[in-house]
Amino acid sequence: MAGRLGTVLVAGLGVSGAAAARVLLARGDDVLLTDAAEPAVVAELVAAGARWLGPVSTPPEDVDLVVTSPGWRPDHPLLVAAAQRGLEVVGEPELAWRLRAPGPDGGEPAPWYAVTGTNGKTTTVTMLEAVLQAGGLRAVAAGNVGRPLVEVVTARDADGRPSFDAIAVELSSFQLHWSSSIAPAAAAVLNVADDHVDWHGSFDAYREAKGRLLRLAPVAVGDAGDPVASSLVAGHRHPVTVTLGEPQRGQLGVRAGALVDRAFSATPAGELLVELDALQVRGPHNTVNALVAAALARVAGVDAAAVGRGLAGFRGGAHRNVLVGSVDGVDFVDDSKATNPHAAGASLASYPRVVWIAGGLLKGADVDPLVAAVAPRLAGVVLLGRDREQLARSLARHAPSVPRTVVPSGDDGAVVTDGDSVMREVVAAAVRLARPGDTVLLAPAAASMDVFTDYAHRGRAFADAVRALG
């Protein structure tokens, strides 16, 4: 564990920032706090010895290190001023890496098995957690999902031993931008699509942030079907790829309806991990997620049988391609977490005939490639949200014969307090378009905050509206 860090300015007091401040205070570091507003947690941290500065645009002269929130863009005046002063700026994951507690008897700290990508990170990391635990490891999911890393790496049991011996880590591009020394035991890039360019400044910068995770990892895992992810992995000293087809040596893939490992198996033909039918999560994208989780677990020493048990027992997360009900022969699936076109496309590819519920805040994303690709699957479309007309124009170009209904919502750019009633109208419209055998799929390809509090509220409203159908 690192020695005293001196005076640390924690910029942004969300979950990760507050956790960083608590750990730094417990270590005896001097902690300064800043944010755009004064959150409730400030009182607790000040009582523990921190100093609240209020909003500031330049670091105080005595600051040695800045720990920034992943939500703060690099062009924030405070972070620009810190860079001009030559101050190091890190994110909470980088801080956690530097503060890792040694293992039993002073051995190596718990290894990280890390995942990034535009979509699928949370599902893959929680799958990985389940598989590591099935293999007998005291594992936990942390980072951009679950607990803050800085808490996990410093956690101790009553006997003083570290609480975990393996950590499944989700890292976003924002977090990776502020990281420099993280060296996971294995790292994976699931996919890289056009997203968060406004934050990073360009797609190349976004791609570079994702690829940063692989630089210091002994093993790099990527999806052979994603051109950017596969290119990032290709130049690595130990590349492993996953495929939905028959795996070659150095790959994990699918053979005769089962997941097979030909990357870490001692036998040339590979080892069977689990039958596809045993997985409780649907769709080709979730098969890729399972293969990546399996690859990382194999690096951790988990045997094939335990990998299979862990994957078969995994039920998936809320609002991620979850069947919430079936009414009159129509399935209703909540994938509210599909907040961009890439994620929505992966979800839509899971079903042969779909009534698609789409729309919200597109954040400048181009939906034409998505609509053109999924048009043959569409039995109907229900549009909502502020940017619904952009989707309507794309549907008119690429799926002109597909019936669609528009539900006015999100026009004023503010959160609509009765998003639940909007969703009831949306679901009623979808029912009118659906026929037995269809799937009504909430995969909006857009953010939710024009009509709902967040994607979880949107998903709950959808599930409630489906249950109300009887």
* Closest residue by Cα to residue 461 from 320, 319, 358: 319
Confidence of residue 45 (pLDDT cuts 50, 70, 90): very high
If asked whether residues 462 and 432 sit together in one domain, one would say: yes
1 in a structural domain: no
416 in a structural domain: yes
Model confidence at 155: pLDDT above 60 = yes
Q: What is the mean pLDDT of residues 73-80?
A: 95
254 in a structural domain: yes
Q: What is the mean pLDDT of residues 353-364?
A: 94
Q: State residue 106's pLDDT score.
A: 76
The verdict on whether residue 122 carries a ligand-binding annotation is yes
Domain termination residue (choose one: 66, 96, 126): 96
The verdict on whether residue 117 carries a ligand-binding annotation is yes
Q: State residue 160's pLDDT score.
A: 86
If asked whether residues 291 and 358 sit together in one domain, one would say: no
Q: State residue 204's pLDDT score.
A: 80
The verdict on whether residue 123 carries a ligand-binding annotation is yes
Q: How many Cβ atoms from other residues are within 10 Å of residue 226's Cβ?
A: 22
If asked whether residues 86 and 38 sit together in one domain, one would say: yes
pLDDT for 113-123, tens place per residue?
A: 999 998 899 99
Counting Cα atoms < 13 Å in the Cβ hemisphere of 365 gives 26
CATH code, domain with 27: 3.40.50.720
Q: State residue 5's pLDDT score.
A: 92
CATH code, domain with 238: 3.40.1190.10
Confidence of residue 294 (pLDDT cuts 50, 70, 90): very high
Residue given tokens 């410093």 in the structure block: 154
Q: What is the mean pLDDT of residues 289-309?
A: 98
pLDDT for 373-382, tens place per residue?
A: 999 999 999 9
Sequential DSSP letters for 326-359:
EETTEEEEE-TT--SHHHHHHHHTT-SSEEEEE-
2 in a structural domain: no
Q: State residue 318's pLDDT score.
A: 81
Q: State residue 326's pLDDT score.
A: 95
Number of domains forming the structure of the chain: 3
If asked whether residues 396 and 418 sit together in one domain, one would say: yes
Residue 12 identity (one-letter amino acid) = G
Model confidence at 29: pLDDT above 80 = yes
What is each CA distance from 198 to 19, 35, 75, 235, 366, in whole angstroms? 27, 21, 11, 28, 14
If asked whether residues 108 and 196 sit together in one domain, one would say: yes
Q: What range defines the domain where residue 372 resides?
A: 322-467
Q: State residue 200's pLDDT score.
A: 59
**Which residues lie closer than 8 Å to 54 by C-beta, 6 or more apart?**
34, 38
* Closest residue by Cα to residue 347 from 316, 313, 314, 307: 316
Q: What is the mean pLDDT of residues 92-102?
A: 94
The verdict on whether residue 154 carries a ligand-binding annotation is no
The verdict on whether residue 339 carries a ligand-binding annotation is no
If asked whether residues 112 and 148 sit together in one domain, one would say: yes
Model confidence at 415: pLDDT above 80 = no
pLDDT for 197-253, tens place per residue?
A: 666 567 787 788 888 999 999 999 999 999 999 999 998 999 999 999 999 999 999
Per the prediction, the chain carries an average pLDDT of: 93
Model confidence at 147: pLDDT above 80 = yes
If asked whether residues 349 and 254 sit together in one domain, one would say: no
Strand runs labelled E in 55-181? 65-68, 88-91, 112-116, 139-143, 166-170
Rg (CA), the chain: 23
Domain termination residue (choose one: 96, 129, 154): 96
Q: What is the mean pLDDT of residues 12-18?
A: 95
If asked whether residues 19 and 77 sit together in one domain, one would say: yes
Q: State residue 210's pLDDT score.
A: 82
Task: Please give the model's pTM, rounded to 2 decimal places.
Answer: 0.81
Q: What is the mean pLDDT of residues 267-286?
A: 94
DSSP code for 104: G
Segment among 7-11, 36-40, 214-218 with least mean pLDDT: 36-40
